[in-house]
Structure 1
């Protein structure tokens, strides 16, 4: 992938890069996986009679049990590493806030991932984004990095390079590539 660049055109600012076919395939696969996790979470929300009458959607009031989904949809209160006592006020507040806001949060994450899928050429090639699409890319790339990092166990103690025999080594390279892509895009979007 080439570094992102910013170009002014008659139709406005455009953010550009280029990606080869393998990179496009990897990125599309990761985005599709994250979208699948989010859509499964959304589908797991219980039905609510009041929501059906009013048209207001409600989310799942319980925290995700899957570590990757929990990283994408963390609690509103309490640390993700410290389990919140299910009978505590924080747990009740988290459940209420999840019911209210999780559908919109999932919608925003799905929209960001969908923007990436719409704008990455399937076989690779030039990528041209509006500043709004570039912001969606940032959100989507962040979600992909969070999901991948959680899945392969990346934390603050993970070294920059792993032993080639470590099963996580190829995935860490992809994680670093996503980090570089996100950083390059941030640099282009800064005023």
Structure 2
């Protein structure tokens, strides 16, 4: 998957009226839709499995899970707010699990909403079967969020680190996933460059 994504992003216009244009093939459309829909399913299942809370019923303020996801992919998308390895860096002795749990319970529903909104923006603007894509600046920003979240998901599954190989043996079960990860990384960078022009 070495071809440049779509037909290459091109900006038309400037300022608030700028539009970001590209053309995607049927294969690219199917791939994007499939991986983004899979991520949406994970996030939606997480949101819907949150325990019910009496305070939510009284105040209308939603609460989410207080514990981190056990799934590595969701854990990468919804990390803890504080990790023990940050204690020295931020100058505190320790932050116990109760604080992380409270922060997660309050903020996770909003974070999931924002991730799903970005994902749905991408799904709404990728033409089924391929075709022309035209994004406003706000939609392009949502695309970047969705692409980054999918990359995080794949990276967690692949165990991506700085030392990860550029290629895997073609017979490796995750070889195709690594190609998709690299492809998305390139697409993210191309769109960022166009937005920064």
> What is the TM-score normalised by the length of structure 1?
0.91
Partner of 2:89: none
Say what the alpha-carbon RMSD is for the aligned residues: 1.8
Q: Higher mean Cα deviation, 168-177 or 123-132?
A: 168-177
- Matched positions, count: 184
* CA distance, structure 2, for counterparts of residue 68 and residue 96 of structure 1: 21
Partner of 2:101: 95
Select the residue among 148, 152, 155 that pairs with 2:154.
148
> What is the TM-score normalised by the length of structure 2?
0.89
Stretches of structure 1 that go unaligned for 5 or more consecutive residues are: 81-87
Q: CA deviation at 1:165?
A: 2.0
Alignment of 1:150-169 (within 5 A): 150-169=156-175
Partner of 2:185: 179
Partner of 1:14: 19
CA contact (8 A) 2:12 2:21 kept: yes
* CA distance, structure 1, for counterparts of residue 84 and residue 151 of structure 2: 19
Stretches of structure 2 that go unaligned for 5 or more consecutive residues are: 1-5, 86-93
* CA distance, structure 2, for counterparts of residue 89 and residue 116 of structure 1: 37
Select the residue among 113, 122, 144 that pairs with 1:116.
122
* CA distance, structure 1, for counterparts of residue 35 and residue 143 of structure 2: 13
